[in-house]
């Protein structure tokens, strides 16, 4: 909560800047609230020289013992995040017959876990995130970062992708995974929203497909929040 208070105060400061001041600040330093965010970093932060700090933030910093990743968009100089699979609520996620966990290397050579779907008919994954961590007055896209194996089966029924914003407004869409590229990580669009003082709070996001069809061959890395403007 202390970190969120710091971030909220800095977000207010950023939101009150004049446009030309904001552009000038971008050329000198990373976003204001990066200091509060990287307090939870899993690796040391190189704060000097400034170029080294910026390079590290552009590459990304793993947070909270492998549960999240934070990076700064190089072109927009705005906050981006990944909520890794270990922070998600995955139905049957701790049952080895249905899901397995594998370790991959992320930024800073830090180990993070990905969820590997072995076989389920009831697919439901839920995640949560506080919007105060994001850059203010910015259009964000939310994506599911996943990989379909060459042998994956059971995806002839589309999955439901949903987002619930802090004001309880909802976005839902159906996505056909049957014809997605196989064997590589892809970003599956969940939806878009704009950060503002009116929607500070918790955002919830989910993927589900609960028919009687058994599904397998899906690797889940997490959900990403990326700025678009």
DSSP codes of every residue in 66-83: TTEEEEE-TTT--EEEEE
Q: What percent of the chain has a predicted confidence (pLDDT) above 90? A: 81
105 vs 111: CA distance, rounded Å: 5
Residue 175 has pLDDT above 70, yes or no: yes
**pTM attached to this predicted model:** 0.87
Residue 114 has pLDDT above 60, yes or no: yes
Q: Centre a 10 Å sphere on the Cβ of residue 128 and count the other Cβ atoms it contains.
A: 15
Per-residue pLDDT tens digits for 179-219: 999 999 999 999 999 999 888 999 999 999 999 999 999 99
Whole-number pLDDT of residue 20: 42
Per-residue pLDDT tens digits for 140-152: 999 999 999 999 9
Q: Centre a 10 Å sphere on the Cβ of residue 103 and count the other Cβ atoms it contains.
A: 10
Tell me if 122 sits within 8 A of 210, measured CB to CB: yes
DSSP 37-53: HGGGBSS----SSHHHH
Whole-number pLDDT of residue 199: 87
Q: What is the largest CA-CA distance in the chain?
A: 56
Residue 174 has pLDDT above 70, yes or no: yes
Whole-number pLDDT of residue 3: 53
Per-residue pLDDT tens digits for 20-47: 434 434 455 888 789 999 999 999 998 8
Shortest CA distance to 185 belongs to which of 147, 150, 224?
147
Whole-number pLDDT of residue 32: 75
């Amino acid at each position: 909560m202390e970190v969120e208070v710091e971030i909220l105060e800095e977000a207010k400061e950023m939101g009150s800047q004049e446009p030309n001041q904001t552009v000038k600040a971008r050329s000198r330093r990373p976003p204001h609230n990066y200091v509060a965010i990287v307090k939870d970093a899993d690796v040391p932060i190189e704060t000097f020289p400034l170029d080294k700090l910026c390079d590290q933030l552009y590459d990304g910093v793993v947070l909270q013992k492998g549960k999240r990743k934070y990076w700064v968009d190089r072109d927009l100089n705005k906050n981006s995040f990944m909520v890794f699979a270990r922070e998600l609520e995955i139905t049957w996620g701790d049952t080895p017959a249905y899901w397995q966990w594998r370790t991959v290397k992320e930024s800073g050579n830090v180990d993070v876990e990905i969820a590997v779907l072995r076989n389920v008919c009831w697919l439901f994954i839920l995640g949560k995130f506080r919007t105060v961590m994001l850059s203010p007055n910015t259009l964000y896209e939310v994506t599911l970062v996943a990989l379909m194996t060459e042998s994956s089966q059971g995806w002839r029924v589309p999955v439901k992708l949903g987002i619930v914003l802090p004001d309880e407004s909802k976005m839902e869409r159906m996505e056909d995974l049957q014809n997605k590229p196989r064997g590589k990580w892809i970003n599956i669009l969940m939806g878009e929203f704009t950060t503002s003082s009116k929607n500070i709070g918790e955002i919830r996001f989910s993927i589900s497909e609960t028919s009687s069809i058994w599904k397998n061959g899906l690797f889940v890395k997490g959900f990403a929040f990326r700025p678009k403007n």
